[in-house]
Amino acid sequence: MAHILIVEDEPAIAELVAMNLRHDGHDVRIAGHADEAQRSVQAELPDLVLLDWMLPGEPGISLARRWRADARTRQMPIVMLTARSQESDVVQGLDVGADDYLAKPFSTAELLARIRAVLRRKAPESLDTAVQVGPLKLDPTTMRVQAPSGAVHLGPTEFRLLRYLMTYPERVHSRSQLLDRVWGDHVFIEERTVDVHIKRLRDALADTGCATMIETVRGAGYRLAKPALASQAG
């Protein structure tokens, strides 16, 4: 499930898209203008923004430009919607850093496919896709984790943490990045909370032989290593 913010001033379009996204299993918020969108993003960073170009007041393109200039929202996936279809506008939309671009009128099926493609590329942990790294298999739809030795029982936070680490194997994540992506960046929690949950995760994996896949990277954070590359020290 992805958290998606729709920025659209035409209620009929916003509601239609929202209905379809909810049907697809996503959590949807709607903002009717730039200020409302900005407040919504400040309160909670969405996994993706569907952004209309033509809005009352500040246009979508300007909002996209501001988000791209801000460290917190720089990576936030943006799909732009617009009634304009001239090539120069498409170029401008992509220039400010929109991840994709769709001209109105659009088919809902195409919009949903484009959104899924952007999420797969930029926020794969928000999709209910099963992941496997080495001998570990994780299925978000059933909330199950499977190791060769059997099922692994995890608490909800450890499950989300493992899922995030498995989605980006080999990548080093700082504690603050893990807090943002696993706990949500609107939540204020101490960084050492991450250490507590990493320990619980390693404990839960102890009997599977997979605990050493979760590596501490000194001074940087944590990484899930593929088994062939996992260090013996863990």
- Cα dihedral 165, 141, 211, 206, rounded to 10, equals 160
> CA-CA distance, 173 to 165, in Å (whole number)?
8
CB 215 within 8 A of CB 231: yes
Minimum distance from residue 108 beta carbon to Ca ion (Å): 17
Q: Where are the beta strands (DSSP E) in the chain?
A: 3-7, 27-31, 48-52, 78-82, 100-103, 131-133, 136-139, 144-147, 150-152, 214-217, 221-224
Minimum distance from residue 44 beta carbon to Ca ion (Å): 23
Q: Which residues bind Ca ion (CB under 5 A)?
A: 9, 52, 54
Minimum distance from residue 55 beta carbon to Ca ion (Å): 6
Token pair 């102890």 in the structure block, residue: 206
Minimum distance from residue 81 beta carbon to Ca ion (Å): 8
**210 to 38, 48, 222: CA distances (angstroms):** 42, 32, 15
Q: Which of 203, 191, 195 is nearest to 155 (CA)?
A: 203
Q: Which two tokens stand for residue 33?
A: 């203008």
Cβ nearer to Ca ion, comparing 9 with 180: 9
Minimum distance from residue 62 beta carbon to Ca ion (Å): 14
> CA-CA distance, 116 to 101, in Å (whole number)?
13
Minimum distance from residue 54 beta carbon to Ca ion (Å): 4
**Rounded to an integer, what is the distance from CA 183 to the centroid of its chain?**
12
- Cα dihedral 202, 139, 118, 123, rounded to 10, equals -20
Cβ nearer to Ca ion, comparing 9 with 139: 9
